[in-house]
Amino acid sequence: MNHKMRVQNMKQKILKILKQNPSSFVSGQKISEQFGVTRAAVWKSIKQLQAAGYEIESETKNGYKLISCPDLLTSSEVMPYLKKSCFPYQIIHFNQLDSTNNKAKELAE
């Protein structure tokens, strides 16, 4: 698994945990221990999720809580519902493209 896919996978896992605990904070330490990564890696993934439109509250000593999700069907939202054995592909999401055909051709090369 390449680095980009590992990062995407980490974001999906963090979202899953936050969605499973909608009314409480989840500590960065707990997340880092569960996935065997540093708290800095968790923080970085949280920042990327926030930049993608997820409203995630963070409190010192308490952790993170998901407040709202963006109104977009991103790969982080779709992948948890697909069986990996039936859908072995990576979903790539772009907010805007000049040409989907050109991008598909570029990705195929």
Measured distance CA(2)–CA(50) in Å, rounded: 23
> 5 pLDDT exceeds 70?
no
- Over residues 76-85, the mean pLDDT reads 70
pLDDT at 71: 80
Tens-digit pLDDT profile for residues 40-73? 999 999 999 999 889 999 999 999 999 998 887 7
> Helices then strands (H, E): number in the chain?
5, 2
Minimal CA–CA distance to 45: which of 23, 20, 13, 75? Answer: 13
Tens-digit pLDDT profile for residues 22-37? 999 999 999 999 989 9
Higher pLDDT, 106 or 90: 106
Output DSSP code: residue 60.
T
What residues does 26 pair with on adjacent strands? 64
CATH number of 82's domain: 1.10.10.10
Measured distance CA(103)–CA(6) in Å, rounded: 22
Report the mean per-residue pLDDT for the chain.
85
The alpha carbon torsion through 89, 73, 69, 15 (nearest 10 deg) reads -10
Q: Work out how many domains the chain is built from and give that number.
A: 1
pLDDT at 19: 92
| Residue 49: domain span | 3-108
